[in-house]
Amino acid sequence: MELYNILILIFVALWQPATQHIFSNKFYENYQSQLRTQNEIHSAKYKYEIKTINMPVDHFSFSKLDTFKLRYLINNTWQKEDNAPIFFYTGNEGNIETFAQNTGFMWEIAPEFKALLIFAEHRYYGESMPYGNKSYADISHLGYLTSQQALADYVDLIEYLRSEPQYKHSPVIVFGGSYGGMLSAWMRMKYPHIIQGVLNSSNYYSAFMIDKGKEWLSDDWKLCQPLKNANDVKQFKSYLKDIYTNLAVVNYPYKANFLAPLPAYPVNAVCKHLTNESLTGTELLTAVHKAINIFTNYTSETKCLNLNNSIPQLDAIGWPFQSCTEMVMPICSDGINDMFEPNPWNLDEYSKDCIKQYSVKPQSNLVCEQYGCKDLSTATNIVFSNGLVDPWSSGGVLQNLSSSAIAIIIPEGAHHLDLRSSEPNDPYSVILARKFHRYFIKQWIKEYREKEEKHY
């Protein structure tokens, strides 16, 4: 086919968290080096103390006695008295400091509620590696990367905090965005006796075979590894697709540094390079390169494009394994109703790839069996917020489930925009949503206090 057929035009109907690229153990050392550098940068905005707690590798076995150190961040600046509310963030698929620095809403309301802030890291991410540099070595080490184990980590950490006399009767309000939002909602459903309320944001319920062309792309686009064969081209196209989806997700109305340093409304900035419909061949690909540079090299500091990782700042090295086990999210395209090449969902083929890569078979119904899907009528004290600019909103809870399990819609909101810090360019809908968040948090704390007074 002609050269320009490799172009996949912009933006997606569904967001794939973290990426489809597979990160093996050989990336571990580079990942840890990047992590330390990023943490040094991130530590500037919000201050916290870094602590660890011993956790069992397997919470549900009496025979597996291995333990590891789970990392969490703590800030008690605004706690003024005993039994202060505990605002607890359920960590996502990445190092916890990234999410602490991008969840400004918790920091903004902590003084109002005189709350203790806790950001818990998800096992197998950041520095919470159960088996150190062997954590991703094989299935015997990696098999404990599940949402059930992660939730049990968070419960143990809360119970540990509440074992201190000053927090014995503290109400716990849990926050989470994206995958972290899924965890926070599941935590309330599975452990309603542990937490009092949840603020859950943005959850989700062509060939190019000409050698000369590959050489041109490798050089002109400054790829870290040159394109040599059909598999490399397939990876290149997947890389572009990831970037397009990422742009749709983080289309914030102001400059931001989540996933990558970006200008305000990055989608608009990208589209300015793609206004000439008559371009073809290398001219078209040059324009596309300038466009994606908004995401890949906005600061002009990137020396080459690493096709193995379209979002290095997230450090989501374990997500491909999770998506091969319990976090199975059917995503497809038909090339007619979307802007991508036809790619039908095929669970059998997907399973074969997972077995080949990790020796595991996806359990596509496990999440529904564990936490519920179609019937969530028993859910209480949860706010499901979704921004309609966010592609993930198509799979979110968009209607109230009960009088206390509420759906909040943010028409101009990108991915968990409401959990980010306030900005002058915030749309009114997100400002209003945060007012609702405060209202429900106050209600949950009040209900808990009244219940505690009756018992003690």
Active site members: 178, 390, 415
Q: How far apart are CA 388 and CA 232, in angstroms?
A: 34
Helices within 277-344 (DSSP H only): 281-296, 319-323
Q: Strand pairing of 86-90 and 116-120?
A: parallel
CB atoms within 10 A of CB 11: 17
Per the listing, tokens 């596309």 go with 288
Q: 108 burial class (0-12, 13-18, 19+ CB within 10 angstroms)?
A: middle
Q: Which backbone phi and psi does 269 adopt, to 5 degrees?
A: -65, -40
Q: d(Cα 83, Cα 81) in Å, to the nearest integer?
A: 7
* Residues in Cβ contact with 37 at an 8 Å cutoff, skipping those fewer than 6 apart: none
Q: Is 405 left (phi over 0), alpha (psi -120 to 50) or beta?
A: beta
Q: How many CB atoms lie within 10 A of CB 49?
A: 9
Q: Are strands 49-56 and 116-120 parallel, antiparallel or unpaired?
A: unpaired
Q: DSSP assignment of 403-446, as one string?
A: SSEEEEEETT--TTGGGSPP-TT--HHHHHHHHHHHHHHHHHHH
